[in-house]
Amino acid sequence: MGKSTQPRRADAERNIAAILATAARLLGADPGVSVAEIAKEAGVGRVTLYGHFPSRESLVDAVLRDAVDHAELALSGLDLEGVPPAQAMERLISSSWEILDRHSRLFVAADRALPAERIRERHGKPLARVEQLIARGMDEGAFRTDLPLSWLVSTFFGLLHSAAGEIEAGRLPRAQAADVLTRTLRSVLAA
């Protein structure tokens, strides 16, 4: 904890921040970008990068966590309580989709580098919000109760990520995605 470690720690934090910001930007442009290119563009050596992120997987994972933290911040500002569940759900779908759409290439990178279950774990907080809203809709008679709550939450998550994949694969025009998602989830959730 002497004087000599303070600047080193500050350097490390600056490097990590530069690596994560650069990785988010480059992965967002090309999900297949290499770790070497990310290091170069971030202005750090490969050894430094690997010192903080020992594998491509751990780097993509850290970028994903950051992106979900930012998404969480934006979603936490939504007013979901003051409106009926079906209307709140349309708000939540459209805001969630807007955020995911901005990160859709990062999602493709995450899908290639990380197991599906890990990606889902990283979305714990946004999914808790989805779960809470669906539970309220079930209680108030707006949403169906013949399917398990956890399944409906997974369907919400799965369909949003399917839409990102469909756009990336060229099977769904980007401009149609929000409407297609809203219609599909409305049918799945309706009482």
Cβ density class 86-108: b for 16+ within 10 Å, e for less: eebbbebbebbbebbbebbbbbb
DSSP state of 190: B
Among 2, 77, 82, 148, binds a copy of itself (CB under 8 A): 148
Taken as a whole, the chain contains a residue count of: 191
- Binding a copy of itself by CB under 8 A: which of 5, 79, 146, 175? 146
- Segment contacting a copy of itself (CB under 8 A): 64-72, 85-93, 129-137, 154-162? 154-162
Assess 175 for contact with a copy of itself (CB under 8 A).
no
Tokens coding 73? 């911040």
Amino acid of residue 51: G
Stretch that binds a copy of itself, among 13-21, 22-30, 36-44, 177-185 (CB under 8 A): 177-185
Does residue 128 touch a copy of itself according to CB under 8 A?
A: no
Q: Contact between 171 and a copy of itself (CB under 8 A)? A: yes
Which positions from 12 through 41 interact with a copy of itself, judged by CB under 8 A?
A: none
Closest distance of CB 117 from a copy of itself, Å: 6
**CA-wise closest residue to 93 among 82, 110, 108, 80:** 80
Distance (Å, rounded) from C-alpha 42 to C-alpha 151?
41
Torsion sign (Cα): 138, 144, 145, 151:
negative
In whole angstroms, what separates CA 25 from the centre of its chain? 15
Tokens of 118: 């890990």
Instruction: Assess contact for 130 and 153: CB atoms under 8 A.
Output: yes
Q: Is 169 in the site for a copy of itself (CB under 8 A)?
A: yes
Per-position x/- string for 83-122, each x denoting binding to a copy of itself as judged by CB under 8 A, each - no binding = ----------------------------xx--xxx--x--
Among 52, 94, 162, 178, interactor with a copy of itself by CB under 8 A: 162
Interface contacts to a copy of itself, rule CB under 8 A: 111-112, 115-117, 120, 144, 146-148, 150-151, 154-155, 158-159, 162, 165-166, 168-169, 171-172, 176, 180, 183-184, 187-188, 190
